Amino acid sequence: MVDVDVPAFRRDVSLPFEPLVRPRRESARCDGAEETFVPPPLDVRAFLDLEGGYLVGYNSGEWGGGLYWYDRAGALLQVVSRTQVRWMFPTRRGALVVGGFAHQGLERGEVLRLEASEGRWTSHVLHLPSAPTALWFESEASVLLAAWAGLTRVRWGEDTEDFTLEPLHEAQGTWTHVTSIAQEPDGSIFLGAAHVVVRLRPDGDGYAEHWLVPQGPRSERRPENE
């Protein structure tokens, strides 16, 4: 079964503190228009409670997003990035943040490795081929990221230079609304998408792609090379 009603990265998150600065959505104004509308605050997608403060990720889609660093009292210390945050999690050396955006033909995706020094964050960025929509932890130092165009692995280690992106598989067709990933002990990978489960089986240096679909008209939907 595939559940695509509410992708996980669209769920709002409540903060355990009150920020003194609340970033607001971006909006355009026509020349001469009166400023009668105040854009609402950006939606909170994730946060990390860390030593010295809170790292908060915002994502309101086409209306903007960002990664903000607050102290324990809620004062803004640093705007770390303007990426639309989808997931974030701590690592031994700092934090890893996955961001992305896709709207009406505009698309980008990125992974930020953050390291703290003297109360400030520095970031190292890997650019993804498309905006990720599903994540799976392979280990303590690697994740799988899925998007409509394919599957990518991100690895990281103790050194800053040990931060790599590895394209694993290019989608044969389009994976619409991928929202979940699962991995079997034999290395097979399953992706939950709209109306289909995509199965990737290890095959030589890559993967063989198969689509699992219900019986009926949709059962005819298969990758283009099958």
What is the DSSP annotation of 122-186? Answer: EEEEEEESS---EEEEEETTEEEEEETTEEEEEEE-SSTT-EEEEEEEE-SS--TT--EEEE-TT
Determine the pLDDT at residue 199.
96
61 CB-side CA count, 13 A = 10
Going by the DSSP 8-state scheme, the letter that residue 10 receives in this structure is G
What confidence tens digit (pLDDT) does each residue in 124-146 have? 999 998 899 999 999 989 999 99
Q: How far is the C-alpha of 200 from the C-alpha of 130, rounded, in Å?
A: 19
pLDDT band at residue 204 using 50, 70 and 90 as cut-offs: very high
Band the pLDDT of 174: cuts 50, 70, 90: confident
**157-168 average pLDDT score:** 85
The least confident of 58-67, 83-92, 202-211, 212-221 is: 212-221
pLDDT at site 160: 66
Query: Percent of the chain, pLDDT > 90?
Result: 61
- CB count within 10 Å of CB 30 equals 5
Rounded to the nearest integer, the mean pLDDT of the chain is 86
Tokens encoding 188: 């097979």
How far is the CA of 226 from the CAs of 173, 178, 203, 207, 221, in angstroms? 11, 21, 16, 14, 10
Residue 119 has pLDDT above 70, yes or no: yes
Distances (CA, A) of 217 to 3, 93, 191, 195: 20, 50, 21, 11
> If you count DSSP H runs as helices and E runs as strands, how many of each does the chain have, helices first?
0, 16
Q: Per-residue pLDDT for 43 more than 70?
A: yes
pLDDT score of 218 more than 70: no
Domain positions in the chain are: 8-25+37-220
pLDDT band at 2 (very low <50, low <70, confident <90, very high): very low
Q: What is the β-pairing status of strands 120-128 and 106-117?
A: antiparallel
Task: Tell me the whole-structure pTM to 2 decimals.
Answer: 0.84
Residue recorded with tokens 């033909």: 105
Angstrom distance (rounded) from CA 184 to CA 165: 22
Q: pLDDT, tens digit, for every residue of 62-83?
A: 888 999 999 999 999 999 999 9
Q: Evaluate if residue 3 carries a pLDDT over 80.
A: no
More confident residue, 87 or 194: 87
